[in-house]
Structure formats: structure tokens, C-alpha cells
Amino acid sequence: MEIPLRPESELQFPHPFKEILGLIQIAAKQAGVTRLALVGGAVRDCLINYNKITKIQKIHDFDFVVEGSPIKLSDLLLEKFTSKRVSNFRIHQKYQTIELSIDRIKINIATARKEQYNKSGFNPEVSPTTIEEDLYRRDFTINAIAFEPKTQQLIDPYNGINAIRSKQLILIHSRSIEEDPTRIIRAARYAARLNFQLSSESISQIKSTLSLWPWGSVHNEPFPHALSTRMRMELNLLFNKEPWESCLELLQEWGALSILEGGLQVDKRWKRRIHWGIRLRVPRLLCFIAGADNPNLLAKQLQLPTSEQKVMEEFFDLKSYLSNLKIKEEHSSPIFWCKILESRKWSKESICIAICFGVNSWEKLLKWYLKWRHIKSPKSAAELISSGWEAGPSLGAEISRLRYQEIETLEDSKYHR
């Protein structure tokens, strides 16, 4: 079904934003900015959500592109909006962009720019240009529509409006994925969120680029630093803000998970892992990459926080330990598992990931996590001392013995109830 589009003369923005837009226009004029336009998601969503004003109210992020310097503009903005209204103000000199929140509405203002990628996946060299030319550097035609408030006109050189009408996601040019592979993840996010179809040319571009990609699977070669950061950010958005199941299904269908690792492209168990991860409150991204052939390397390549890389290493170690463990009769005893899992070799988080993964004996790990680890000795150290025990290692051993006894009694009573 086609989307009925809001006629451009009626392009409506949420009410609080209208006043902000007015002041930004005045400040831009004073700063010598010759042209200013709104671009990207805000324009796209206003066009898509024809007649659904409540959805438009949910736009939190407004991207502007200007011909002129946003840095000069930023001084005037800080003057016009009192410090009470402005927060998170940041300037990026290299790309001539500013970020700020006004009344908690996120505003990004960037100089219209051309991008030149000298090496695939690395950050581009940039030079100033017109708003029309700036639209060429963008990902999908639906995100390359600009709205100039001064003229009240939409600028749509790539037929983005038609693409919105027919619910198509179309990459703007044939080197888009090669220049910025994170667009693969973005494609899945938009397709799943908006229920749009990725065009067949765009799917072919993803496939052909990936088949040539130097990092198509883990080759012990890290992603370039800037690409890792952007890839991790896109994945975090995918897992935390989007319908992640549909996103991952699409990525797998396009053969695109191989950008992360070949093992993940053929992995059939990610749904189970992540659903368990949600129950056990483990970050979804960690549960997902636990299914890679080499999760430690992938965690490093994605520059996950050091604490998460450590969890991944511990998980990998625990998984190998359990797969080498010859299961014997005594391994059914809770005490055996308490002793192993409380040896402090593996953190709680890594044990949770092992449960999510479904390692050998994962049910025992789950019981330990949910139940056994919380059971205490029925007698405290103070009580034992008052009944004649002396402080020291033997007291510790007695407390452990009593605790294990308690765990076994509770387990037995469960079966004999």
C-alpha cells in the first residue's frame, strides 16, 4: 500500500519545535548563513506520518544543514536561548558541526559538505558545498530530502518522496556501502522500523561489496578505528531502539551478518540467546556476539568496553571448560556446581551469557544463578563463635558445609514434596 504524503505546503512540525525553528532562522541570518534546511529523519518522518500528529510529536532529533559556518551560528544560538534551555552543547571543528539540545530537543547543525573517501570504511575528507550537493553524501533517498523553511520548499533530487510513497529503501549511489559499511545495519534498522523494502539494487550492492570486503569474516585484522566505533553505535541502536528480531532476520537474509563474522551469518540460535539475555539482564549485543566463532576477537574489533571484553573472554573460557567436562554421576549435585561456579574464575555476567548461549549443563548454571547462590548457611559466623567455634579457616569451612547441606536439603525437599 502506498503512503499518502503530506503536501509540502502543510509540512507540520511539533509545536515546541516551531518556535525553536523560528529563532534558529533568525540567528542563522545574523551569523551570515546564506541557506539553512532541515534534512534527514525529521523531514522523512513528517512526510511519512501524514495525519498522525502524535507520531510527529515523537521526533526528538532535528538535523540541519547550512551553507555557511555553524560555529558562528552557535554563539548566537547560545545568546538567544538562555542557558536554562540549552544543554549538551558540542562543537566538532573537523566536520564543522554543532550539537546541542534546546528544551531537550536534540539539534545537529552541519555545514553542507562533500565527502571524499580515500580508504573504504575510514572517515572521509570533507569540503564545503551546497545543500543540494550535500544530499549526495547521504545513505538512502528517503533520508536525502531537505526542507528549506525560508522558501517552504522540499529539495528532493533523488526522488525520496517517491521512495517513501512506495516504501522503498534505496541507496543513493553505487559506492555507498563500500564507503560506509555501517549503512548495512542502518538499512536493516529502517526496513524493520518503517516496514520498507530494501531495493533489489541495494541488496545487490550489499552482497557484492561484502564479497570483496577485506573484513568479510574475522581475519585477525581489526576494523579501522572509526568504523568500529560507528558499527558499535549502529548495533547498539539496533538492539536497544529497534525491532531487533526483524532487523537481524533481514541482515541474515541479505547475507549481511558476515560483515561482523562468518559464524554469525550462519548462526541459528541468536533469538534464543537474546531472549534469555533479556530475562537475565545481559546486554543484547553481548548475547548476540557470543554466538560468533571468535567472540573475543569480535568484542575487541567492535571496541566494546574493556569490562565487556573481559566478560566475553570469561564466557569463552567457561564454555570450553564445560565442553571438556566429562559428565559423571556426582555432577548432578548442586554442591559440585556451587564449588565450580563460585571459584571466582568466571564473573556472574559471563555465567549468564553461558546460560543464554545454552552451554553444556546450562540448566545447572541457571539453578545456581537463580537459586543456589542466594542460599546462606542457616548459622552465621557470630552464632557459631558463640557456640564455641574459633574464628579462622575451619570456621569458614563449617559455614560452607552448613550452606551446602542447606542447599541439598532444599533440593531434596523439592523432589519429595
Range in contact with ligand CTP (rule: CB under 6 A) among 46-54, 175-183, 296-304, 321-329: 175-183
Select 227 or 356, whichever has its Cβ closest to ligand CTP. 227
Q: How far is the CB of 242 from ligand CTP (least distance, A)?
A: 9
Select 134 or 267, whichever has its Cβ closest to ligand CTP. 134
Q: How far is the CB of 233 from ligand CTP (least distance, A)?
A: 9
**Per-position DSSP letters for 268-330, written without gaps between them:** --HHHHHHHHHHHT--HHHHHHTTSSSHHHHHHHTT--HHHHHHHHHHHHHHHHHHHPPP-GG
How big is the CA angle at 170 (ends 167 and 174), to the nearest 5 degrees?
A: 170
| Selected binder of ligand CTP within 179, 180, 261, 314 (CB under 6 A) | 180
- Residue 151's closest CA among 43, 17, 37? 37
Q: Does 96 bind ligand CTP (CB under 6 A)?
A: no
Q: Does 232 bind ligand CTP (CB under 6 A)?
A: no
Interatomic CA distance for residues 31 and 222, integer angstroms:
43
Sequence-ordered list of residues with C-beta below 8 angstroms from that of 337, at least 6 positions apart, any chain: 331, 361, 364, 365, 367, 368, 372
What is residue 149's three-state secondary structure? coil
| Selected binder of ligand CTP within 74, 97, 141, 182 (CB under 6 A) | 182
Q: How far is the CB of 285 from ligand CTP (least distance, A)?
A: 18
CB 114, CB 138: distance < 8 Å: no
Select 181 or 277, whichever has its Cβ closest to ligand CTP. 181
Q: How far is the CB of 140 from ligand CTP (least distance, A)?
A: 7
Q: Does 134 bind ligand CTP (CB under 6 A)?
A: no
Select 52 or 331, whichever has its Cβ closest to ligand CTP. 52
Select 41 or 262, whichever has its Cβ closest to ligand CTP. 41
Range in contact with ligand CTP (rule: CB under 6 A) among 114-122, 152-160, 176-184, 271-279: 176-184
Q: How far is the CB of 354 from ligand CTP (least distance, A)?
A: 34
Q: Does 349 bind ligand CTP (CB under 6 A)?
A: no
Select 117 or 369, whichever has its Cβ closest to ligand CTP. 117
126: β partners: 115
Sequence-ordered list of residues with C-beta below 8 angstroms from that of 164, at least 6 positions apart, any chain: 3, 5, 44, 47, 48, 142
Select 234 or 349, whichever has its Cβ closest to ligand CTP. 234
What the block records as the C-alpha cell of 265 is 551469518
Q: What is the DSSP letter of 120?
A: T
Q: How far is the CB of 197 from ligand CTP (least distance, A)?
A: 17
62: β partners: 107
Q: Does 63 bind ligand CTP (CB under 6 A)?
A: yes
Select 41 or 224, whichever has its Cβ closest to ligand CTP. 41
How big is the CA angle at 268 (ends 267 and 273), to the nearest 5 degrees?
A: 95
Q: Does 41 bind ligand CTP (CB under 6 A)?
A: yes
Range in contact with ligand CTP (rule: CB under 6 A) among 178-186, 217-225, 328-336, 343-351: 178-186
Select 61 or 245, whichever has its Cβ closest to ligand CTP. 61
| Selected binder of ligand CTP within 143, 199, 209, 301 (CB under 6 A) | 143
Contacts 24+ apart (CB under 8 A), 390-393: none
| Selected binder of ligand CTP within 61, 79, 221, 253 (CB under 6 A) | 61
Q: Does 342 bind ligand CTP (CB under 6 A)?
A: no
What the block records as the C-alpha cell of 32 is 551570515
Q: How far is the CB of 131 from ligand CTP (least distance, A)?
A: 12
CB 292, CB 298: distance < 8 Å: yes
Query: Which conformational region is residue 285 in: left (phi greater than 0), alpha (psi within -120 to 50 degrees), or beta?
Result: alpha
Q: Does 183 bind ligand CTP (CB under 6 A)?
A: yes
Q: What are phi and psi of 231, to 5 degrees?
A: -65, -45
Q: If you compute the radius of gyration of the chain from its CA atoms, what whole number of angstroms results?
A: 28
- Residue 134's closest CA among 230, 67, 46, 190? 67
Number of residues lying near ligand CTP (CB under 6 A): 11
Select 61 or 383, whichever has its Cβ closest to ligand CTP. 61
Q: Does 139 bind ligand CTP (CB under 6 A)?
A: yes
Which residue ranges make up the site for ligand CTP (CB under 6 A)?
40-41, 61, 63, 138-139, 143, 180, 182-183, 186
